[in-house]
Copies of this chain bind each other. A is one copy, B any other.
Amino acid sequence: MQISNIVDHIHQKRSFLCVGLDSDIDRLPAEFDRSLKSLVRFNEDIIEATKEYCVAYKVNTAFYERYGSKGWKALEKTRKLLPDSHFLIADAKRGDIGNTSRQYALAFFDHLDFNAITLSPYMGRDSIQPFLEFDNKWAILLSVTSNPGSADFQRMRNSEGKELFQKVIEKSVLWAGPDKIMFVCGATQSDRLQFARKAAPNYFFLVPGVGAQGGSLEVVYKSSATRGAGLLVNSSRSIIYASSGPDFREAASAKAMELADRMGELLP
């Protein structure tokens, strides 16, 4: 997949929605038993119910890894169910020294064939570099996240008045272009989104925090959209758990459609 494919998909579908498969066995609708087999079947239903309205899927690896090798098997099965037309993100937040990061890159880009992986920038350039050596794959760096703890370190200010997340963006845009790097920017902090957009005018942002975490889609768009959109707004829990009853497919579909409709109104 190339960046032009993502932009085309967004404008063709008039949606920049990413659906997050943070699928938790303990929260499956009542009709499923509490098994990994059911988790995969639930994912299949959610993908079927939402793929018309979204352009990306984000799989949260923790919810699979929690069950060890069997959970990873469910992750592999889920990956095979995801449509190749969509931008596929492993939300794994890895990041280690070079020879180790290379192994993670092989795990997610080669073995699982995701288009992108989320990474923590804490260990600096050589922890990211191995991911940049793959063509048509993206390293999505955490910059300013949507959780309360983002205030602890990401907003630490240096002597020039710049916050850490700004330094992360300013440095990493020198490492590779928008064809290899994207940034995670939380929806709950619109002023930081504006700063981030200024520092990375042509890069895609993956934006969590709309929905369950309280961020506003319209504020996100106003603060940081580019002409080509430049945004993938993620919603996980508010879609996949829209209902726990037998109508969970229709409820997920309706919620995804509602978000896509609002996105369509924002797009030029």
Instruction: With CB as the reference atom, state the residue of chain B lying closest to A96.
Output: B93
Say whether A4 faces chain B, with CB atoms less than 8 Å apart: no
Interface residues of A in 50-108 (CB under 8 A from B): 60, 62-63, 65-73, 75-76, 91, 93-101, 103-104, 106-107
Q: What residues of chain B lie closer than 8 Å to A91, measured between beta carbons?
A: 96
A150 to B123, Cβ gap below 8 A?
yes
A103 to B152, Cβ gap below 8 A?
no
Most chain B Cβ neighbours within 10 Å, of A100, A112, A151: A100
Say whether A12 faces chain B, with CB atoms less than 8 Å apart: no
- Interface size for A (C-beta < 8 A) is 61
B149 to A127, Cβ gap below 8 A?
yes
Say whether A154 faces chain B, with CB atoms less than 8 Å apart: yes
Say whether A254 faces chain B, with CB atoms less than 8 Å apart: no
Name 14 extra pairs, CB < 8 A, besides A123-B145, A126-B147, A156-B164.
A24-B103, A66-B106, A69-B72, A93-B96, A97-B145, A122-B142, A124-B148, A124-B149, A124-B152, A125-B149, A153-B168, A153-B171, A158-B158, A158-B159
List A residues at the B interface (Cβ < 8 Å).
22, 24, 60, 62-63, 65-73, 75-76, 91, 93-101, 103-104, 106-107, 111-112, 120-128, 142, 145-154, 156-159, 161, 164, 167-168, 171
